[in-house]
Structure 1
Amino acid sequence: MDKKIGFLMVTGLSLLLAGCGNQNNSKSVSSSSSSSSLLVAKSNVKIDSDNLSPQEAVSLISTYCGLRYGGNWAAMVKQAQKDGLQVNLYPSSKYQLSDGGQGVAYDVTAGGASQGLVYTVNNDNVNIYQNVKQNKKSTKLATVSKAEMAEYVNKKGQGKLVNDLAAQAQVVDKRNGDSNASSSTSSTGDDHKYGRAGIIDVPSEMQGTWYSADNDSDSTIVFGAHSLTFAEGSDRETTQLYKQDPQFGEDEDNYTSEDVQNATKNWGKVSFYNVNGSRWLNLRGWTQSAGDGSSYTVKTETIDGKQVKVLVQAGGAENWTQAVYYQSKDMAQQNADKKFDDLHYEDDD
């Protein structure tokens, strides 16, 4: 079983957000809103504006606004590094916006509490607002394409911040007044909706971006504090990680209900186990009734005489190694399909 299939077994399609486009029509309406200060230390990580996941899109937009306009946008981004980035989706008619876009207002928050930082999407462009309040007219700061945003963020060396925010970002659709919609996640995940009994805290050493070139294909895994994002080619999927109430699994109807499947398509059922001195995180689809899912652990291997941390993905009845991930693309390419003596592979048997 290759790494892509192993992951796709345990996750569904991500919620699709409207694209942000490539046209440039930016014009700031507030001379006091611009800022040239950096949000975090510079890095060499670059952001590609094509094929962004919903979480990456809101993270790119937030980072750009924090850099470009400073003020409340910058403060929110800095707070989101601690509390997590969350965007709530409302009908744009909820507010009196000068450009309601395609009918959806994206209210960007740090941890869920609205701070009046909103954007809408109109064709290929993003309309940016701040200090938005109900029953009060709001004029946009600017209209900017995501391609321009990525270029600006890369120039400022803030690409790693976009990835870090995206790894923990939440997308909550509140247009139907249901905070438990398919894209929703509560702050604790213990509302027992569809058997959800609490969020999973990903081990700190596992969190971050990992790269692999095994199995003749480049792929990336990003572990957030409570999420996993898998990307291969143009495919990109994010799974929120939860504990599942054992009683939920005892009812077979839960696994066959389309309503349950649709509502939990972005949720993953996680458990932990120990094998040969390593602690593994096992991930399965929320309504997955058969199969072993995919398991992950961080190990230290010797590469060219140096001790290197790697992320191991395994699956199958005997927890066979399916792929090894590294902390840089270059190292992944240099060690593509490399086998390590302390890992268990299917052809070893």
Structure 2
Amino acid sequence: MRIKKWAVMALFCGIFLTGCSKQTASKEASNSSNKSSQSSKSSVKKTSKASSSSAKAVKLDAAKLTPQESGSLITLYCADRFGGEWSNLLQAGQNGSLTITLHKTSDYEFKQPGSGYAYEAAASGQTGTTYYTLSGSTFYFYQGVKVAGSGSFLGQATKQEMADYIVKKGQLAEFKQLAKKVEIVDKSGQTQRLSEGRSGYFTIPAEMQGTWYSASNYDGETTHSKYVFDQSTIFIQDDKHNRKGHTTTLYTRAANYKAPDYPSEEQIKKAEGWGLPKIVQYKGINYLNVMGWYQGAGDGEYFAVHTENIDGNDVQVLICAGGAGIWVDGIAYRSQAMAEKMQDHQFDDLNYSDSDN
């Protein structure tokens, strides 16, 4: 089985656009009271580095982190890398708890606005000045952010880069403890800037969130694709037809909104990158169906997480399908290595079109 060329091109050309980680004992800062002049960054309690042999044996899979664990990871990483307000935040979180609040990116003026949300990281019950955004698989970090402002851009990293960083730093125990203190709050729906029938953001099923990889052969050439699912966005990229990739933000539609039969060019342009989602069950599998916001004809694209037996092991795969028959046109995996190994493999229990057999 292969991802059909038309499916790849459809994703690229706009079916979403308009129509689809033995640690050594922690060194307690017993003499910290004699060093009150140190910066807030150095005042944050840190776990000492793990031995090199232990660090090599530990792997934190960023793709499997919960939203709370992601908040803990980002806070630890930014506190160590950038210090300043992020260090203050970490200290507050260790002494109390943290809240990650989701806002609309359009309410701010970030250098890298990302897609869908602006994430405010703050001590619970307080207004935060530390934020991050997400575009594709890359996070962008800020501090000094004011309401409707921009703040100072600090840097960027992927979630796996951050995971590898805290493992190397020996902060895995802190990561696990802090994750228990993180609360996620969605205030994005409170914005007044939504328009064209958008009533809020659609939350992608947790099991689907993260990064998936596929490899398929067409006309003797292998195409490598990557799918990144965030809370409400889908980023798709491949090395043949869509090198830059494209992000689709999923919105819920107001019940009283009637989409125009013939949207204007201005409406179509404005809705570029908006996806209209719904959950569809077909042959016992729950699919996420994504149509373009103003898509009239066609069936959109379908995605589902399903378990298959590979070499005697139960492995979760991402089904990519399309068409009226919800025919499978691609399978993605949690690692590139698995995608290469299983290239174009067809599973007996899935629904393929006759032309793929």
Is the CA contact (8 Å cut-off) linking 2:77 and 2:165 kept in structure 1? no
Looking at structure 1, the residues matched to 330 and 268 of structure 2 have their Cα atoms a distance apart, in angstroms, of 28
* Structure 2 counterpart of 1:244, from 245, 253, 257: 253
Letter in 2 for 1:244: R
Provide the residue aligned with 1:329 in structure 2: 336
* Distance change (3 Å), C-alpha of 1:271 and 1:63: same
* Distance change (3 Å), C-alpha of 1:46 and 1:197: closer
Provide the residue aligned with 1:212 in structure 2: 214
Larger radius of gyration: 2
The answer for unaligned runs of 5 or more in structure 1 is 14-28, 48-58, 93-100, 120-125, 162-168, 170-184
* Structure 2 counterpart of 1:280, from 276, 283, 287: 287
1:317 is displaced (CA, Å) by 2.6
Looking at structure 2, the residues matched to 250 and 133 of structure 1 have their Cα atoms a distance apart, in angstroms, of 36
Looking at structure 2, the residues matched to 243 and 208 of structure 1 have their Cα atoms a distance apart, in angstroms, of 21
Is the CA contact (8 Å cut-off) linking 2:308 and 2:317 kept in structure 1? yes
Matched length: 270
Provide the residue aligned with 1:261 in structure 2: 268
* Distance change (3 Å), C-alpha of 1:128 and 1:30: farther
Provide the residue aligned with 1:33 in structure 2: 41
Letter in 2 for 1:211: Y
Provide the residue aligned with 2:299 in structure 1: 292
Is the CA contact (8 Å cut-off) linking 1:63 and 1:153 kept in structure 2? no
Provide the residue aligned with 1:199 in structure 2: 201
Question: Normalised by the size of structure 2, how large is the TM-score?
Answer: 0.59
* Structure 2 counterpart of 1:222, from 221, 228, 239: 228
SS in 2 for 1:194: coil
SS in 2 for 1:4: helix
Structure 2 matches for 1:104-123, cutoff 5 A?
109-110=120-121, 115-117=128-130
Looking at structure 2, the residues matched to 278 and 127 of structure 1 have their Cα atoms a distance apart, in angstroms, of 37
Is the CA contact (8 Å cut-off) linking 1:88 and 1:108 kept in structure 2? no
Letter in 2 for 1:71: N
Structure 2 matches for 1:284-323, cutoff 5 A?
284-323=291-330
Is the CA contact (8 Å cut-off) linking 2:121 and 2:131 kept in structure 1? no
SS in 1 for 2:15: coil
Looking at structure 2, the residues matched to 155 and 240 of structure 1 have their Cα atoms a distance apart, in angstroms, of 29
RMSD: 4.7
Provide the residue aligned with 1:179 in structure 2: none
Looking at structure 1, the residues matched to 141 and 190 of structure 2 have their Cα atoms a distance apart, in angstroms, of 32
1:323 is displaced (CA, Å) by 0.7
Looking at structure 1, the residues matched to 336 and 309 of structure 2 have their Cα atoms a distance apart, in angstroms, of 18
* Distance change (3 Å), C-alpha of 1:37 and 1:291: farther
1:232 is displaced (CA, Å) by 2.2
1:343 is displaced (CA, Å) by 1.6
Looking at structure 2, the residues matched to 74 and 248 of structure 1 have their Cα atoms a distance apart, in angstroms, of 46
SS in 2 for 1:218: strand
Letter in 2 for 1:187: G
Letter in 2 for 1:31: S
1:153 is displaced (CA, Å) by 6.8
* Structure 2 counterpart of 1:342, from 314, 326, 349: 349
> Can you list the C-alpha shifts for 1:174-225, whole angstroms capped at 9, x where unaligned?
xxxxxxxxxxx93368987201134323223222221111242222212223
* Distance change (3 Å), C-alpha of 1:228 and 1:108: closer
Provide the residue aligned with 2:166 in structure 1: 156
Letter in 1 for 2:344: D
